Homo-oligomer: A and B are copies of this chain.
Amino acid sequence: MSHKLLIINSNSNPAATERIRTGLAPHVRPETTLTYVNAALGPQGIDTHLDVAVSAVETAKVVAAQHGQYHAYIVACGADPGLDVCRQIVDEPVIGIAEAAMLMACTLGYKFSILTTLEAEIPGVEELVARYGLTARLASVRAIEMSTAELGQREAVAQRLAEGARLAVREDRAEVIVLTGSVMVGLEAQISETAQVPTLAGLVCAYHLAEALMAYGLKTSRAYKYRQLKKHDQLLGYDGLQAVYSQ
């Protein structure tokens, strides 16, 4: 069956969207059509709590606007911004790349380590893991101390990730390495070679997991957490999202 899948780069940087497209392209099944879009507004890289909050709304705007046109949606940012919001909006599966990588890592080893950009983000990543109920599977979160603005320096990023992975295996007993940053895709082989353990790019995991969910024909649950609610108020200043209230 032919599936249509929307890949949402939660930041507003088209260059990052291109890197995502390039990185994911080799993995895409011929019968699946992928559309790449980035947030119209918001940050160009997602580094701070503010960035996460704004991009959550911007991601929701994209999903709400494209409603009904895709078989699944991927939120292509390592903080999984707006994941819960989107799941309440559309019926089709919405996959976060951090979540997808963690779930898939669980099948390849007992403990995984996550590599992120800045040390200041480590508590946020740990909270994400806890929110997904996967703390028992986490070996560690390590930062490469480069902001998203520096992620274009491909070779430096790769080296720092490889070194972080090596330390995670040796010192934290990681068995699998998870790269949640969407633009880290394509570096898995180099990191695996250094660290000698499987390395997963969240973006690729999310893609394959989306294929799995689409193939099985699954939809998001409407009980409890993602139950929809008809509202009659006005969502001031967020016209693009107003329609969500009357679904």
Contacts and interface: CB of A to CB of B under 8 A. Distances in A.
A224 B123 contact: yes
A179 interface: no
Given A224-B173, A237-B40, A106 B110 contact: no
Interface stretch (A2-10, A155-163, A228-236): A228-236
B130 A111 contact: no
A82 B54 CA distance: 10
A220 B135 contact: no
Q: In the assembly, how many copies of this chain are there? A: 6
Given A106-B103, A133-B137, A218 B233 contact: no
B47 A229 contact: yes
Interface residues on A, range: 35 or more
A219 B236 contact: no
Nearest to A173: B224
Contacts of A198: 218-221
Interface string A203-247: 011001101110110111111111111011111111001001000
Interface string A24-43: 00010100000000001111
Given A48-B229, A135-B133, A212-B104, A53 B85 contact: yes
